[in-house]
Amino acid sequence: AYKELFRTCHIKYLRQVRKDNYSVVRAVLFQIFSQGIHFPSWMKERDILKLPEKLLYSQGCNWIQQYSFGPERYTGPNAFGKLRKCMEALKSNWAEISATKDHEERGNMCNTLFSDESKEHKLYEAIKFIMLYEVVEACEQIKSREEPVNNLFSLLFARDSSSDPLSFMMNHLNPIGDSTCLDQVELFLLGYLLEVKIRVYRLHRFNTEEFQVNYPDEYRREWNEIFLLTEDDRYYHIPLFRT
């Protein structure tokens, strides 16, 4: 599989990503930041700092007090304040790095940020919460039948383990960073929310149709493309191409 990638896809190097249960979120976000990709369109229109407040007060989701912060497994009334700080970290770092035009300087900023666990974990928890927020929004739209919902949400709610936003949080989001990584369905959701086409080379699926997979499989032409490589659908690395 590696030989085939080297020959046909012109992959020359592999940037190894730390093997923990944030692996895939880290690999995706690192590439978004290092490429200087800007906020997705919906994030430019809405202030993400207000999302925890909106979920808790406007939509009455007081169960977000059971939200866990990866290896901290933190739950309780302070979850709201911690979520707010995570959202602030994501917004400020993303804005600062994407505004940096010099590629080398941007790379140095990324290396510094992604080598500080306390800082980078806040980014991943913010991404997890945005995923939760969008699932709550989709659930409300399905109930009210206001507008068509992306097929990936139907796929997500069809699972017994994520039939509603609370079970999605408890069974799938809370363990991320602690005991599990993202499932395939969550990868679809991640690409959809960040408005990037995530192309994954799955080496254990070599010589099958699932060797190269796009997340999401329906994407807009203007979305940026980022690449991942995995041997087991658990830990992900970043392939680098010959130029």
CA dist., res. 49 & res. 208, Å (int): 42
- Per-domain residue ranges for the chain? 21-195
pLDDT per 10-residue tile (average), the chain, 243 residues? 90 93 96 96 91 85 91 79 95 97 96 96 97 94 81 92 96 94 93 97 95 93 96 94 80
pLDDT score, position 85: 95
**What is the reported pLDDT for 1?**
92
Distance (Å, rounded) from C-alpha 196 to C-alpha 223?
Answer: 5
Residue 74 is predicted with a pLDDT of: 67
Output the CA–CA distances (angstroms, integers) from residue 57 to 6, 52, 64, 223, in the order listed.
52, 9, 11, 33
- The pLDDT value given to residue 201: 97
What residues does 60 pair with on adjacent strands? none
| This model's pTM is above 0.75 | yes
pLDDT at 73: 73
CA dist 78 → 55, 116, 134, 182, 210 (Å): 15, 23, 22, 25, 42
Supply the pLDDT for residue 232. Answer: 93
pLDDT of residue 197: 97
Contact indicator for 112, 100 with CB cutoff of 8 Å: no
